[in-house]
Amino acid sequence: MSENALERMAWLVKELNHHIYNYHVLDAPTIPDAEYDKLFRELQALETQHPEAVSVDSPTSRVGAAPIPEFKQVTHAVPMLSLNNGFSDEDIDNFDRRVRDGLGRAQVQYAAELKFDGLAMSLRYENGVFVQAATRGDGYTGEDVTANIRTVKVIPLRLRGDDIPAVLEVRGEVLMFKEDFERLNQRQRDAGQKEFANPRNAAAGSLRQLDARITAQRRLRFFAYGIGLLEGAPLPESHSKALDWLDQLGLPVAKERAVVTGCEGLLGYFHDIGARRKSLPYEIDGVVYKVDRLADQRELGFVSRAPRFALAHKFPAEEALTTVSAIDVQVGRTGAITPVARLVPVSVGGVTVTNATLHNEDEVRRKDVRVGDTVVVRRAGDVIPEVLSVVLERRPTPVPPVYELPKTCPVCGSHVVREEGEAIARCSGGLTCAAQRKEAIRHFAGRRMMDIEGLGDRYIDSLVEANLIHGVADLYRLTLDDLLKMKRLADERDGTTPETVKQGKVATKWADNLLAAIAASKHPPLERLLFALGIRHVGESTAKTLADWLGSLALVRRAPAPLLRVLPDIGGTVAEAIADFFAEEKNQQALNDLLAAGVAPQGEHAPRAQLREKLDDVGLLAALGIPKLTEPRARQLLADGRTLDDLAHLKIFSVFGLPEGVVTALEQWMAVPGNRAMLAALAALRTELLAQLPQDAVDAAGPLSGKTFVLTGTLPTMSRDAAGALIEQAGGKVSGSVSKKTSYVVAGAEAGSKLEKAEQLGVTVLDEAGLLALLGAQNSIK
Ligand code: IVH
């Protein structure tokens, strides 16, 4: 073997280790990654050629050794003991007093440092070379995790400098940074594997791998906090100097350390670190105080298994165990239903916790929290306490039942709905539920809704709190006296009673104005009233579609979902939400109250004539949302003159030649309570509407009826939707694709294949102006 190769290998090891140190310990890379990789590969190649010359501290050994059957036991030359804990200022004062008494001194200096929330580790260096890593175990014997620790890049495989002791055992903590933990959990999730509960567990799980190659993929870190054994070099005179020395030897030592004096100094450090805790990239569970002078430490010695010279000052625990006494639900101001665990009171982080959120139904299921369970609750900072997990071993017998969300709202008794794909269940009593009252009234009175000028949030809050209004209809029954009472309460509450009022002079102009504004809001266009009701998913445009097509509140409030669903731009979820709102008896009652209070929409009209086309029974049947029941299947069912009403009363569906799957789906759907009745109601409403609607829909439907339009490209002044609405208003149809049957293609800028197709088929092409002219011309003909 050539001298050159040997020298080159030695140089590469040194060079690479230097870069690893700069990158991982100092966090200050000195060469580009690609350059590092090149040198690394060169070393690997040389090592393959000269396996006998592989250096003990070669960075190539960090990739992880082959799996081992078990960890070997290691006896610690110096035991790894634990620390006593302190929590209160008083505990710290007592500690300082005991130390001063023990040393017979008036003042003592302490080394203060972080209490890392990881795993204790002992690293053994012989003549500067890393030879062994051991876990703490029971403090006297631990496990040999050398192969795993070799993969931790911040741990040097050879100590730096000239001042190298014959034997050095470094004590410190292995941990995982918060961001590496998050990344690891993301990878676990992506791979469908179990996530780790916290960085500490993740670090432990990564370290305890018999296959060190897995450890190598997890980014573990290390901070040194002391010396276990030292041979062949003098011990520094103080702990703080020992840490400085470890730092010089190339070991990672946290910067957040200080030398302080007396109890005051200790508490100052504690508060300072407490304030910086969140911004540290890793988790700590407190700070550690150690008498700085090592001679003093020796003098103080140990009691049982903990040093007298040191104390862990822990942050208040953020997690605690307690039992679930009940699971209730809370109703938010928008109706969101949140399950809440009622707990046997427990102190978490110095605060008594009696409730914890369970977020939503799926979360309760996932964690499988049941009444009577022992649970881990967590309270971090200002956030709402939450139930983290159940201690299954402590589940009582007989085993409590699986939790189910109530079917009705605990506040108002309305039914609870959970839409498909939504995690949150909601109370459907929007107009009447006390939990949602303020929000419902606020929405109702809004500018784009009933537009009650002067009825701001402050007054709404006061009116509700003073019990003057319970629902929106009560607004229309308010008297001048009510408003004055409300104002007085509001002023008192906010401490803003005006001087004039204090002097007994009551201004009433504002109240008169408000009453006038309320009265003036009684006759809104139907779409505004519909929007004001606060029906989930019903915004201005859906409200307008409902008003345009159905014409009257009477019809909207009794339209079943399938009928709503065939209206333009109303999908399944929206149709369900509307029907659901009106299915709630309490909402119907609230509407009746409104009408009784004199609210009446203006300009109601008969349903739009084109509704006739939408009342096609096949379309309606397909809109029922019965699984597998496509339009062709619906047509098959309605063949031979069968009607929707016939179907609502049929018992056997297997006689129409439908595939078995469709028959089963149908039968299952019919078996759901309420579905048959809904179908019968739909059939009846359809018949009724058909009788009302003009027979000759084409004529009545408007000037463009019978004409099919395709819109493509960007129109200069209006959106395609707006143009489509104009066409439909004039009775035309809008389609998505061009065929021979297309009457007109309306093309804007950057029209593509549809325009080409129109030209091929000889379909008339219009621009926006052409369309408007057509609409205008048609209007004038009309
Ligand atoms: S000194 C004889 N310093 O806390 C005292 N320990 O109960 C030896 N820990 O498992 C420990 N940060 O792993 C010391 N700055 C620190 C520490 C620390 C965390 C852990 C240690 C041990 C436990 C002591």
Q: Which domains does the chain have, with CATH numbers?
A: 1-62 (1.10.287.610), 84-314 (3.30.470.30), 324-417 (2.40.50.140), 433-521 (1.10.150.20), 526-608 (1.10.150.20), 611-696 (1.10.150), 700-775 (3.40.50.10190)
Task: State residue 781's pLDDT score.
Answer: 37
Q: Kindly report the backbone phi and psi dihedral angles of residue 113, in degrees, each rounded to the nearest multiple of 5, phi listed first.
A: -150, 180
Of 110, 113, 114, 115, the one to substitute when testing ligand 1's pocket (max ligand atoms within 8 A of C-beta) is: 115
Q: Measure 346 CA to ligand 1 centroid, in angstroms.
A: 27
Its sign, for the CA torsion 591, 595, 599, 601, is positive
Q: Is 117 in the pocket of ligand 1 (CB under 6 A)?
A: no
Q: How many residues does the chain have?
A: 782
Which value, to the nearest 10 degrees, does the dihedral of the CA atoms of residues 257, 263, 264, 270 take? 40
User: What's the CA gap between 736 and 726, in Å, rounded?
Assistant: 16
C-alpha closest to that of 195 among 362, 389, 403? 389
Place of tokens 């020992």: 242
Per-residue pLDDT tens digits for 563-573 = 999 998 898 88
Residues contributing to the annotated binding site for NAD(+)? 33-37, 82-83, 113, 136, 173, 290, 314
User: What's the CA gap between 289 and 312, in Å, rounded?
Assistant: 6
User: What's the CA gap between 63 and 147, in Å, rounded?
Assistant: 9
Q: Is 118 in the pocket of ligand 1 (CB under 6 A)?
A: no
Active site residue 115: yes
Residues contributing to the annotated binding site for Zn(2+)? 409, 412, 433
What Rg, from alpha-carbon coordinates, does the chain have?
38
Query: Partners of 126 in the beta sheet?
Result: 129, 167
Reply yes or no: is the peptide bond before residue 627 cis, omega within 30 of 0: no
Q: Is 9 in the pocket of ligand 1 (CB under 6 A)?
A: no
Q: Measure 267 CA to ligand 1 centroid, in angstroms.
A: 19
Per-residue pLDDT tens digits for 26-84 = 888 889 989 999 999 999 999 999 999 999 999 999 988 888 889 999 999 999 999 99
Residues contributing to the annotated binding site? 33-37, 82-83, 113, 136, 173, 290, 314, 409, 412, 433
Query: Partners of 109 in the beta sheet?
Result: 261
The residue whose CA has the least distance to atom 18 of ligand 1 is 115
C-alpha closest to that of 488 among 525, 463, 516? 463
Q: Which ligand 1 atom is at minimum distance from the Cα of 287?
A: 15
Q: Is 168 in the pocket of ligand 1 (CB under 6 A)?
A: no
Of 76, 82, 229, 270, the one to substitute when testing ligand 1's pocket (max ligand atoms within 8 A of C-beta) is: 82
User: What's the CA gap between 465 and 463, in Å, rounded?
Assistant: 6
Q: Is 226 in the pocket of ligand 1 (CB under 6 A)?
A: yes
Q: Is 310 in the pocket of ligand 1 (CB under 6 A)?
A: yes
Contact 648, 669 (CB under 8 A): no
The residue whose CA has the least distance to atom 23 of ligand 1 is 82
User: What's the CA gap between 532 and 433, in Å, rounded?
Assistant: 16
Q: Measure 522 CA to ligand 1 centroid, in angstroms.
A: 73
Place of tokens 């397909």: 622
Kind of pairing, strands 733-735 and 744-747?
A: unpaired
At a CB cut-off of 8 Å and minimum separation 6, what does 515 contact?
478, 479, 480, 483
Phi-psi domain of 714 (left: phi exceeds 0; alpha: psi -120 through 50; beta: other): beta
Q: Measure 127 CA to ligand 1 centroid, in angstroms.
A: 26
Q: Is 243 in the pocket of ligand 1 (CB under 6 A)?
A: no
- Catalytic residue chosen out of the listed positions 14, 38, 72, 115: 115
Residue 720 host element (H or E): helix 720-729
Q: Which ligand 1 atom is at minimum distance from the Cα of 117?
A: 19
Q: Is 137 in the pocket of ligand 1 (CB under 6 A)?
A: no
Q: Is 222 in the pocket of ligand 1 (CB under 6 A)?
A: no
Residue 677 host element (H or E): helix 675-692
Low-confidence ranges of the chain (pLDDT < 70): 1, 380-383, 696-701, 777-782
User: What's the CA gap between 9 and 17, in Å, rounded?
Assistant: 12
Contact 709, 745 (CB under 8 A): yes
Q: Measure 322 CA to ligand 1 centroid, in angstroms.
A: 28
**pTM, two decimal places:** 0.54
The residue whose CA has the least distance to atom 14 of ligand 1 is 225
Q: Is 116 in the pocket of ligand 1 (CB under 6 A)?
A: yes
User: What's the CA gap between 415 and 409, in Å, rounded?
Assistant: 6
Q: Is 308 in the pocket of ligand 1 (CB under 6 A)?
A: no
The residue whose CA has the least distance to atom 10 of ligand 1 is 120
Contact 586, 429 (CB under 8 A): yes
Residue 702 host element (H or E): none
At a CB cut-off of 8 Å and minimum separation 6, what does 319 contact?
348, 376, 377, 378, 379, 388
The residue whose CA has the least distance to atom 12 of ligand 1 is 115
CA atoms within 13 A on the CB side of 324: 32
The residue whose CA has the least distance to atom 6 of ligand 1 is 115
Kind of pairing, strands 306-307 and 310-314?
A: unpaired
At a CB cut-off of 8 Å and minimum separation 6, what does 697 contact?
609, 610, 612, 613, 705
Q: Which ligand 1 atom is at minimum distance from the Cα of 307?
A: 2
For the chain, percent of residues with pLDDT exceeding 90: 63
User: What's the CA gap between 138 and 132, in Å, rounded?
Assistant: 18
